Amino acid sequence: MQKNSAIKVTNLTKIYKLYKEPIDRLKEALNPFKKSYHDDFYALKGITFEIKKGETVGIIGRNGSGKSTLLKSITGILTPSTGRVNIHGKISAILELGAGFNPEMSGMENIYLSTSINGMSKQDTDNKIEEIKAFAELGDFIYQPVKTYSSGMEARLGFAIAINIEPDILIVDEALAVGDAAFQRKCFAKMEQIRGAGTTILFVSHSESNIVSLCTRAIWLSNGEKIIDGSPKLVTGLYMKNSQKKQIDKAEVKKEFLELEKNSGKKDETKKKVSKKQKKLEIEEFYDPSLKPKSTIYYEEKGARISDVKITTLDGKEVNVLSHGEEYLFVYVVDFFNNFNNVQFGMLLKTLNGIDLGGGVIPSIKEYVSVGNGQYTVQFQFTCLVNNGVYALNCSARMMVNGDIKILHKIVDTYMIRVINQKLNTTSKIGLVTKGRIVE
């Protein structure tokens, strides 16, 4: 294991024996011919990866994909069926609410219990106790039995202890999802802080935005297998694209990922020096043909196809270099191949790292339209109020089915823009859609 390696997982497999009837376990144990009465369930299948010291790695996947099993194998709670896990450094983990807590003991007593299990002396805990109490924000409940705590209170206490042990490696499962919004923001701010100090973080979440904003790498698991490992933006983008599929074609996804990775790794043409002709036009919007996204992801067409995506001025001139404070139209064409009810059209503005900034829905977030077999033009009118920089846009056509969203077609990173702000004293805001319409 290399010196700069924090976690190394090699060919990790975890198999559970599934019995149809409880008696089958006894039959199998006593059978003189070693007859099998069980089916093998592979919770993990040959997982291999390495995390360097100081990296923040996110793991994403649907429920049952093997995320928690992987974390429990890394922390030593579960013993792998085959394979190895090598750890270099002190681990602190938040895997399940209340894990390791004695429900009969008070929160204060559980702090000393948990820190001692993690190798801290009483004196070290005494020095940290006020910081732990302040982070947990439990007030006098810190002296009450943990069995009286709500799930959110357990999350506060668990995270406050784990984060203040000063681990070399912090492992966080989806436990933080139960906390309120303010506490979650506080936890993520703390994780940013310890990440900056060099702590390795392994983070499981269903939230692609959290993984994109916090992590330097992402790993997608499905049915116990590692599908892809790489850029958080590309991994989460392909995960969301395939999230509604029952079966994932690993080879097809990996091929698309490698192509996107290859394109995004090319020299960024958007950073070229602006030509003299362009400098003269900086105050006005114009179209830069070199400003094209290299990470476009096309969702499967399910009765609709989006095309002819562009941004124009209000008088119809296509542009991708925009002037701060001006109004524009985000336009795309949708061909429908069937009749659909409860349809909406969307746009989303993002940073190049994949952080959502804002967007809109037509006709509105709680309204829908019916469409027939044919072609429709969608127009979003918006005011550009973001700071100088380069941004990407998504567009989508979707419908509501029994309260769930069904994507008819979606394109991620379909269009790229550069914003020029000549008024340096203006405040950056998100340009929300002010008007929208559909033209049949």
Quick check: is 169 in a domain? yes
pTM: 0.76
pLDDT of residue 276: 43
pLDDT of residue 154: 86
Parallel, antiparallel or unpaired: strands 217-222 and 5-19: unpaired
Quick check: is 369 in a domain? yes
Q: How far apart are CA 153 and CA 254, in angstroms?
A: 41
Q: How far apart are CA 26 and CA 124, in angstroms?
A: 49
Kindly state whether residues 239 and 347 are assigned to the same domain.
Answer: no
Kindly state whether residues 198 and 95 are assigned to the same domain.
Answer: yes
Q: Select from 200, 230, 261 the last residue of a domain.
A: 261
Structure-token pair, residue 46: 């040959």
The CA R_g of the chain, rounded to the nearest whole Å, is 26
Q: How far apart are CA 209 and CA 194, in angstroms?
A: 20
pLDDT of residue 2: 62
Kindly state whether residues 235 and 185 are assigned to the same domain.
Answer: yes
Kindly state whether residues 325 and 226 are assigned to the same domain.
Answer: no
pLDDT of residue 81: 94
> Which CATH number do you get for residue 54?
3.40.50.300
Kindly state whether residues 306 and 250 are assigned to the same domain.
Answer: no
Kindly state whether residues 93 and 204 are assigned to the same domain.
Answer: yes
User: What does each of the 440 residues of the chain score in pLDDT, given as a tens digit?
Assistant: 567 899 999 999 999 999 989 898 888 888 888 889 889 999 999 999 999 999 999 999 988 899 989 999 998 889 999 999 999 998 888 776 556 788 899 999 999 998 888 788 889 899 999 999 988 889 899 999 999 988 888 888 888 888 888 889 999 887 666 566 677 777 777 888 888 888 999 988 887 878 888 899 999 999 999 999 999 989 998 998 888 787 888 999 999 999 888 887 665 544 444 444 444 444 467 888 888 888 899 999 999 999 999 999 998 999 999 988 889 999 999 999 999 999 999 999 998 878 888 888 998 878 899 999 999 999 999 998 888 889 999 999 999 998 889 999 999 999 999 988 755 444 444 454 556 667 65
Kindly state whether residues 309 and 334 are assigned to the same domain.
Answer: yes
Structural domain harbouring 282? 271-439
**Shortest CA distance to 347 belongs to which of 394, 315, 392, 382?**
394
Q: Select from 229, 261, 293 the last residue of a domain.
A: 261
Quick check: is 186 in a domain? yes
Quick check: is 430 in a domain? yes
Q: How far apart are CA 230 and CA 262, in angstroms?
A: 12
CA 313 to chain CA mean position, Å? 34
Q: Select from 230, 261, 292 the last residue of a domain.
A: 261
- Other Cβ atoms within 10 Å of 322 Cβ, number: 23
Structure-token pair, residue 299: 């969702």
Peptide bond into 22 cis (omega under 30): no
Kindly state whether residues 212 and 329 are assigned to the same domain.
Answer: no
Kindly state whether residues 219 and 364 are assigned to the same domain.
Answer: no
How many CA atoms, within 13 angstroms, populate the side-chain half-sphere of residue 437? 5
Side chain identity, residue 406: K
